[in-house]
Structure 1
């Protein structure tokens, strides 16, 4: 049932470690109230110590007001979480993994005001693992979701700007929003595409600001200098919260506005 003229959805960029989770805890309630948010999506593939997610971490994030967690190429980093991911429909793994892989890549779920929203999680292939074609896989899934709702958000977890842009233009007018994730660096190109789809190349990171994409600077620099294997740690310092708020027409499913957010 679609009963509102417009609805506001917030998408929170890649949550990294404990400091990122704390930023969500502190800042999300204010954002929900300020922007009259009806549904909260967050990428959580780095939420557990910077790599992967666990059941306890997911439950923590849900308790802060997040309605659905998307992921990406780090989805399987915590092996103990695989049985949980297999049964928890509010955590999405990339849709374009081969059939038979645990979990699900899409969902249709009611918002706080009972509008139905479809969410897809898809991985790119340029400089990434070679999964099934994100374009063809997504096209088929959109057809199924359209039978229930026109409000559709896609987390496109990809490295290459060109792939993200091509993907967005291919699906312009068919979905509400395509939100880029993975690089942890927020881009300044948020826009409504010509046919009505909201887009940003990368929504950015929610995690330690004085870091290298969420990890201790010295450890990452050392890796670049000597090329030796290293375990990166997430520093316990003040964090940034990166997000976008998208206003959507609840009947057509097309976007009316997209606002980029960066809070410290």
Structure 2
């Protein structure tokens, strides 16, 4: 299978670029399955029903979220209706929505996608490792699932790396989100799981992690808020991770993806 994971979509710039490019990416890379992190898609904070639908219509199979899951209140309702939108699995019991999705790809392959939130320097939620373990035991790779993708939405690189090794040999891809900066460590771990510490963002990199520079700079230099954070509106770079799996569901290849905007362009060669 050929899988694509696209990092956090930030604001209008990231949305517009993703919606414009994803249909051709699916064709050119002959993708079987696409996951997009959409937790910053609505003005940098959360997701709306319309934006969710736009990303799905453009070719995403699943949209994951993170610590901004509920910044747009309508997401609490829409996530109950739209099974292709998932939030972190380690939210408390009774939280709206689902933390994992089991989906049939266009090829007929069965794909499990799990979203969890890290705890280091972030919200005090349930253990992400326990949440992932439950999903992996319930739907083993190579038996119930043909591919498994885990979005580890976390601040600490150490926690993301630990999740990669925790899942090695049991998932097709473990990828970090939240930091918005693509890391240079795309690799296949010893047990066969593809890994990258952070996929990066789909947004304007002439910014501070996707936000217009003025307000972050003001807060860092004066320690006084002077307004709201607003997404930067320049040309977006689409950042993500491409994975090709073997029949076992484990990875035989993983490569970063960067398209458009300011960063060096990278596309997998087929």
The verdict on a shared fold, with TM-score over 0.5 as the criterion, is yes
Greater RCO, CA 8 A, separation 6+: 1
User: Which of 9, 16, 20 is residue 10 of structure 2 equivalent to?
Assistant: 16
1:86 CA displacement: 2.1
Match of 1:82 in 2: 76
Q: Within 5 Å, which residues of 2 pair with 1:110-189? A: 110-146=104-140, 148-189=144-185
- Could you tell me how far apart the structure 2 residues matched to 1:62 and 1:206 are? 15
> Is contact 1:150-1:252 (8 Å) kept?
yes
- Stretches of structure 2 that go unaligned for 5 or more consecutive residues are 261-270
TM-score with structure 1 setting the length: 0.95
What aligned pairs does 1:203-222 form with structure 2 within 5 A after superposition? 203-222=199-218
Distance 1:119 1:217 in 2: 34
Partner of 1:195 in structure 2? 191
Deviation at 1:150, TM superposition (A): 4.1
> Which residue number corresponds to residue 241 of structure 1?
238
Moved over 3 A (4+): none
Q: Tell which deviates more after alignment, 144-153 or 183-192.
A: 144-153
TM-score by length of 2: 0.93
CA drift at 1:129: 0.4
Q: Is the 8 A contact 1:150 1:175 kept in 2?
A: no
Aligned residue pairs, count = 257
Residue 37 of structure 2 corresponds to which residue in structure 1? 43
CA distance in 1, matches of 2:228, 2:123: 21
Return 5+ residue gaps in structure 1 as ranges: 1-6
Output the aligned Cα RMSD. Answer: 1.1
C-alpha distance after superposition, 1:214-251 (max 9, x if no partner): 110111101112223431111221111001111112x4
